[in-house]
Structure 1
Amino acid sequence: MYLRGDALTDPLDTWPASAFAPHRIAHTITAMAGAQPLNHPPTTSTTAQAIITECDAKLERYRAALDAGADPAVVTAWIAQTQAERARAETELRTIARTTPRRMSQGEITTLVTALGDITTALRNADPADKAEVYRQLGLRLNYQPETQTVRAEVDLSAHRGVIVCVRGATPPITPPPMTLSATLRLAQV
């Protein structure tokens, strides 16, 4: 069935902004914060931190050995090896911190939403190709109802967040709670 795009454009561009209307924004931000995957530090982060702790303990023992009269040449070699091992673990931690997504706080989400400004105006003024890409990435699904001249619109905001898989075989994967926005849009008369 053919549906004129200009009859759907305005209601479709206005719909996502309804979730950010003044009377709904607090609920939407709370839902967005709750729909994020839980912060689970990667196992390698825990391992790297354990290596750093172990290296620090070794360095203390080496200092004590030097104070007790151990051969400085031997202890110096141990220290160099341990410091290199510690440096590798610190580098790994920094890499993990840079590359691991983290949950945004409600305050951070609020700041982001506020910075976006009027979402309806931004969508209306967007380049059509950019707008189409936004809707595609949101997984927008439209279902036309000709008898009522309406369109059921739905996006699944949780579809792109993935599933957190635990490293222990006995622990089931953790799926973040769904966050779906849906509405019935009345088509504009053209």
Structure 2
Amino acid sequence: MTDAQPLDPPNPLTATARATIDECDTKLERYRAALDAGADPAVVTTWITETQAQRAQAEADLKATQTPTSHRLNQTEIAAMVHALGNITTALGDADPADKAAIYEQLGLRLTYDPETQTVRAEANLSAHRGVMGCVRGGT
């Protein structure tokens, strides 16, 4: 389930911010080398200050592009969610028939009973989004 989660669409602002951070890091390395080679410390300090300000702005931009919805669940979080759901088989078995019908419809599930053979044929249409599923156990 962890691997099946969709990746967030690429954000051009994220790529720009990361490129700016990399560029600033490269400049700061060059400025250090210039200082080591004997460049005027006052001039280089001005460059460093400007570059650090650009880098700080790029870091802020990068942080702003990362939203809470971009969080992918890890295995522990998924296991906790599954555990919180409880035994869905028992919940559906005990549910009101009207509630079950609504859930099955939202899942795209069609059950067809054949009285002659006393069997149920189950078909699921997973290709279409069916809406939000409600809770069959009440307010949990």
TM-score range, shorter chain: 0.5 to 0.7
TM-superposition CA deviations, 1:46-97 (whole Å, max 9, x none): 72544433333334445666773216445433432332123202322x32xx
- The match for 1:139 is 108
With normalisation by structure 1, the TM-score equals: 0.44
Give % identity.
53
1:135 Cα shift? 1.9
Number of residue pairs aligned between Structure 1 and Structure 2:
123
Runs of 4+ aligned structure 1 residues displaced above 6 Å come to none
Q: Is 1:36 matched up with 2:4?
A: yes
- Equivalent residue of 2:81, what SS? helix
1:156 Cα shift? 4.9
Q: Is 1:148 matched up with 2:117?
A: yes
TM-superposition CA deviations, 1:75-132 (whole Å, max 9, x none): 433432332123202322x32xx32363653x55444333322323322444656544
Query: Cα gap change, 1:99/1:112 in structure 2, threshold over 3 Å: closer, same or farther?
Result: closer
Q: Is 1:91 matched up with 2:64?
A: yes
Query: Cα gap change, 1:153/1:99 in structure 2, threshold over 3 Å: closer, same or farther?
Result: same
Query: Cα gap change, 1:74/1:116 in structure 2, threshold over 3 Å: closer, same or farther?
Result: closer
Superposed, 1:25-64 pairs within 5 Å as 33=1, 36-37=4-5, 40=7, 42-44=9-11, 47=15, 48-62=17-31
Query: Cα gap change, 1:103/1:80 in structure 2, threshold over 3 Å: closer, same or farther?
Result: closer
With normalisation by structure 2, the TM-score equals: 0.55
Question: Unpaired runs of 5+ in structure 2?
Answer: 130-140
When the two chains are superposed, the root-mean-square deviation of aligned CA atoms in Å is: 3.9
Query: Cα gap change, 1:71/1:59 in structure 2, threshold over 3 Å: closer, same or farther?
Result: closer
The letter for the 2-side match of 1:141 is: R
- The match for 1:15 is none
| 8 A Cα contact 2:18 2:62, kept in partner | yes
Looking at CA atoms only, which structure, 1 or 2, has the larger radius of gyration? 2
| 8 A Cα contact 2:112 2:121, kept in partner | yes
1:140 Cα shift? 0.8
The CA distance in 2 between the partners of 1:133 and 1:55, in whole Å, is 56
